[in-house]
Structure 1
Amino acid sequence: MNKSNLNRVVVTGMGVVAPNAINLADFYNSLKTGKSGLRFDQQLADLNFGCQVSGTPQIPEEHLSHYFTPLQLRGLKASGLVYGVIAGIDAFNDAGLIPAEKDNALDDFGIIMGTGQSGGEKFREAIHLIDDNRVRRLGSTSVIQTMTSGISAWLSGELGAGNLATSNSSACCTGTEAFIMGYERIAHGQAKQMLVGSTSDSGPYIWGGFDAMRILPTKYNNLPEQASRPFSNDAAGFVPGSGAGAMILEDLESALKRGATIYGEVLGGSLNSGGHRGSGSMTAPNGAAVQKCLIQALKNAQIKGQDIQAINGHVTATGKDGYEVENWVKALSLKDKLPYLNSFKSTIGHCLAAAGSIELVGSLLQLKQQKVFPNQNITELHDEIKPLYSENKIPVQLIETEINVMMKASFGFGDVNAAVVLKKWDLE
């Protein structure tokens, strides 16, 4: 890839709805101090889930009134749509953008907001109403709440996007994939601003399948804040979470002309799949493909592994944590000069389709503020990680340090991978 032929892309706005915060300032403080958003979930207990802990965003009714009219809220059960609308509008406002006038959409502004499963609660309601011969009681918003592209369509209507408006879906890679897709669209001159990110529903109809697979922790129902334990020898599975992250990607020339705040520059990224070959399967990563994705991201960004000061990993608190660290070390040719490495899942859980976007927001906050947020709940570093990585580079305290370049990656069900390279913004 010849970067000289590409437009430079920066991040000028962010919004987030997470288990431990529902706005950007509180999210920064929560990550900085290690505040957990993991709680005992009575609904999961009532349904006899093995894991009765979840990361569910806490949104007061008053807060909803800033984003939805009473009419819009009537019958609105798709939690992921709610999270995505809040995060998306916050990112748009944070960037200082103005919605389109009534008669003309914004031709240079587009949206890629992904999701996994959409409107589980609404589907449940619809099934019962239809089976009871009450189809006309479904309401006029049942389609937009349950169609995958409902989130991007809703935001497009609110903001007036006249460019590409779509929703991607790629399991845990969804948000990071949307970020790369938006970056590429601007880099190739097809848009000036893209709202990118992802969202994920809350609740038992989303999380039940994972509980059935027995990959969620079951021994921490009385100690919910300790349930998610990335990098730790006693990691017992990922805690299901939900929420949304959204970012405005913008052509650098446009951002400078507007005098916009710049959180960081996007140097490049990569997407690939392991094809369920080698060690890969529907639920396990192909290590060779993971490494290829990371190496290609470095190549596209035109940097080397030794140039990186910080990594925000996927690292889910499962038996694959050590394997992920091994792939990072091999792909980036890391030896003596190890970058700091962290995972936000110890405080927000695994937010599934929203994981990549929420964690990208956190990564960009680290880059902007020149801090590495602490890992939580590491009793002892995992035996598989100890030979690979220095313990002081997986910090359990807030680290203030120079971060010029960092990487964020996501790896998802279906053997899919996504990696992004970000750079600190300095006015040139």
Structure 2
Amino acid sequence: MKNRVVITGLGVVAPNGVGLTSFSEAIKSGASGITFFPELRDLNFSCQLGAKPSISEEKKREYFSELQLRNFNSSGILYGVIAGMDALKDAKITPANPEEDPLWDLGIIFGSGTSGVEKFREAINKIDAKNVRRLGSTSVAQTMTSGVSAYLGGLIGAGNMVTANSSACATGTEALLMGYEHIANGKAKYMLCGSTSDSGPYLWGGFDAMRVTTYKHNQEPNKVAGPMSSEASGFIPSSGAGAYLLESLTSAQERGATIYAEILGGAVNNGGQRIGGSMTAPNSVAVQKCIKDALQNAGVATDDIDYINGHLTATIKDPDEIKNWSLALNRRGAKFPYINSLKGMIGHCLAASGSIEIVSAILQLHEGFVFPNVNCKRIHPEIDALIASEKIPKQLQRVPLKIVAKASFGFGDVNACAIFKKI
């Protein structure tokens, strides 16, 4: 029999709040972390808006030594380490003593998209200038995909599997499900999972070139239409990290740990870039199958879902996502679950989107609320035809939630869906 798996620690580094308390207050009030970036204007970006966490030099030194910070400029690793260590602390688990054995029962799966973009740029410039010796000893660690899990592994003394995954926007949700399986099958006692994403023009530029980002209201970020809005014109690029500490229910009960939620199960699949799917667009058949498979794996009926934390990006694909949920759950109108999207407040955190949104979903489940959909005054008519307006709240709703769903859909036609339950 498989172990039941629960979440006992959370950590978050978001554009509208660093740390659980700040982040929780921000999402309840609908506070935005989106702002105008003069740098993007000077670089002739169409979208001159973005969002990234605010990390002071003092904050950095709570997690890194002066030696570690020397020649360090990977924002993704910075965000991931803070979120990961905060989740560990929230779960009341102490890192291994440097003079003792590693924590053999604690593993890490912490994903990223493109790691260390600034370090890559520095490397290119120095190599082109024939100054390769000046790159420093940390350039490899800061630019490898597993850099964030490697940093966390050293800080914690993790002795189980320490690895990274990379599945575009589905990375954080996929990491959670990988950790879930590892504990469910008895291969670890604890798994620290999550994802992170770098910030800045070298990462965001590709999306601007694809014209999937918004070009409106560059000087007025508070007016940008959010997900599910009839005026939605593209997403706002952003960055950050989210993390969660997973362990077996038995272990959590023995420790007297705070249990935020139980992970009932989930599913990961790929649309194969067929039947309308492509590198950048989801195959609706695969999306619906992923949701249905997640429910079956979790042993949950379609009518049991109280709330959906959507992937919803404020693009032309929002109506398709809602239609897929409606068909997969066979629910519409007033019978459709509550649904919201965090991207209206913090933009699209790319590889970190799933993990930060999972933290927001778990907080809502644990505390019994649904945060407001920001800048969604007029719902897209195709969405309005499928969902009763009260299920897309514009104000904070206090709602006792029991079972919630979170899905992420990413480049490469990748899909991931996880189901959580309040204990």
Alignment correspondent of 2:421: 423
What is the 5 A alignment of 1:24-423? 24-101=20-97, 102-335=99-332, 336-423=334-421
Cα displacement string for residues 390-409 of structure 1 (whole angstroms, at most 9, x for unaligned residues):
11100001111110100000
In the aligned structure 1, how far is the partner of 2:199 from the partner of 2:238?
7
Structure-1 residue corresponding to 2:18: 22
Q: 1:225: Cα distance to partner?
A: 2.7
Measure how far apart 1:52 and its partner are: 0.5
> Secondary structure at the residue paired with 1:266?
strand
- TM-score, structure 1 normalization: 0.97
Alpha-carbon offset, residue 73 of structure 1: 1.2
Cα distance, 1:106 vs structure 2:
0.8
Answer yes or no: is the 8 Å Cα contact 2:225–2:231 preserved in 1.
Answer: no
Q: Secondary structure at the match of 2:251?
A: helix
Is the Cα–Cα contact under 8 Å of residues 194 and 243 in structure 2 kept in the other structure?
A: yes
Contact 1:37–1:225, Cα closer than 8 Å, also in 2: no
| Contact 1:231 1:315 (8 Å CA) reproduced | yes
Count how many residue pairs are aligned between Structure 1 and Structure 2: 421
Give 5+ residue unaligned stretches, structure 2. none
**Cα shift at 1:312:** 0.4
- State the one-letter code of the partner of 1:202: S
SS across alignment from 1:268 = strand
Maintained 8 Å contact 1:225/1:347 = no
CA distance in 2, matches of 1:11, 1:147: 28
Alpha-carbon separation, structure 1, partners of 2:411 and 2:219: 29
Equivalent pairs: percent with the same residue? Answer: 58
Contact 1:170 1:416 in 2 (8 A): yes
**CA offsets per residue over residues 88-142 of structure 1, 9 Å max, x none?**
0000000000111223011110000000000000000000101111111101100
Residue 379 of structure 1 deviates from its aligned partner by 2.6
SS at match of 1:172: helix
CA distance in 1, matches of 2:138, 2:40: 27
Give the partner amino acid of 1:194. Answer: M
Residue identity matched to 1:75 = N
Q: How far apart in 1 are the matches of 2:403 and 2:223? A: 31
Q: TM-score, normalised by structure 2?
A: 0.99
Measure, in 1, the Cα distance between the counterparts of 2:219 and 2:21.
29
C-alpha displacement at 1:228, in angstroms? 4.9
What is the CA deviation profile of residues 160-200 of structure 1, one whole-angstrom value per residue up to 9, with x for unaligned ones? 11111000000000000000000011011111110000000
Structure 1 window deviating more from structure 2 (367-376 vs 95-104): it is 95-104
After superposition, the C-alpha distances for 1:370-394 in whole angstroms (9 at most, x for unaligned) are 0001101013110110111111100
Structure 1 moving runs of 4+ over 2 Å = 225-228
Contact 1:228 1:345 in 2 (8 A): no
Cα RMSD, aligned residues only: 0.8
